[in-house]
Amino acid sequence: MSNDRILDGTAIAAAIKHDVAEEVAKLATAGIRPGLAAVLVGNVAASEIYVRSKVKTCEALGIASDLITPPDTVTTDEMLALVAQLNARNDIDGILLQLPLPKQVNAKALLEAVSPDKDVDGFHPVNVGRLQTGQPALAPCTPSGVIEMLRRSGIAMSGQNAVVIGRSDIVGKPMAILLLQQNATVTVCHSKTRDLGEFTRNADILVAAIGRAGFVTPEMVKPGSTVIDVGMNRITTREEFDRYFAGDARREKTFLEKGSTLIGDVHPKAFEIAGAYTPVPGGVGPLTIAMLMANTVRAAKLRRGLQV
């Protein structure tokens, strides 16, 4: 397959960040600097890497950032008090609570305590409602990134049959709503869907977000369609590697060096049927942080009644 059909998330994320930096510079002329508060509880290595990457990206784009690191013994009440402080701060436009939170903390109560106007993850019920009713809202970063990727790659959405596999609140459901807003005809499938292939073989745009390695097989894909793989699964056994990547020398080298490799929810052979597709890694993943930055700027503008 030619490289021009690979939807390069890294390149598209860089283009989004470039646009965000321009927006930030424009706001600076009006004396406005968007600000993001990132709350990282305890010492979860993967979360630390991810949050520090977000803070670094803020700095690169001219967005103010405040990294707050409560101990992992923190209580729900202490966290609620911290969220209330951040809600009241005028220099903070976005509040990011890095999940997972410790077991003793009520994550649902905290996410709902974040002001909807500062909810840059787009998880608050108010933003979910605004999104569904077509009002200006902060939408979840991953599905928003998928829409940007399709738009910037010149892939038509209007009038197309789109199938979303997965119905999570973070990806599946908002993905369906955002595709509807682009005038796609949308079907949402999930683990209980019967004859899944009957739906996926009719999809001009197929979004896989079910969290199961290699779940979408070649016979489930319509030839020439666009396949968006949101999945991120780690393979650690030789048996699994051979099932999905037998004969892929480059991938094998990484697997032998690291003892693992990443695979999405789509079987690699299925990409050969597609007209365009997102690789894993390097597809949807890089868009999430880029859209978090875009949402922070959007929040800064919405909070001040500026045009978005």
Beta-sheet pairing, 161-165 with 185-189? parallel
Side-chain-side CA neighbours of 306 within 13 Å: the count stands at 14
For the chain, what is the radius of gyration of the CA atoms? 20
Question: Of residues 8, 93, 117, 121, which has the active-site annotation?
Answer: 121
Expressed in angstroms, the distance from the first to the final Cα of the chain is 38
Collapsing DSSP to helix, strand or coil, 222 comes out as coil
For the CA atoms of 123, 124, 130, 134, what is the dihedral angle to 10 degrees? 0
| Residue 121: active-site member | yes
Which of 304, 277, 187 has its CA nearest to residue 223? 277
* Whether the Cβ atoms of residue 265 and residue 211 lie closer than 8 Å to each other: yes
Run of H or E including 64: strand 64-68
Alpha-carbon torsion (299, 177, 231, 211), positive or negative: positive
Question: Of residues 8, 17, 98, 119, which has the active-site annotation?
Answer: 98
Can you say how many angstroms the Cα of residue 223 is from the centroid of all Cα atoms in its chain? 26
| Residue 98: active-site member | yes
Q: What are phi and psi of 217, to 5 degrees?
A: -95, 165
| Residue 265: active-site member | no
Beta-sheet pairing, 233-235 with 261-263? antiparallel
Question: Of residues 8, 17, 54, 265, which has the active-site annotation?
Answer: 54
- Which residues are known catalytic residues? 54, 98, 121
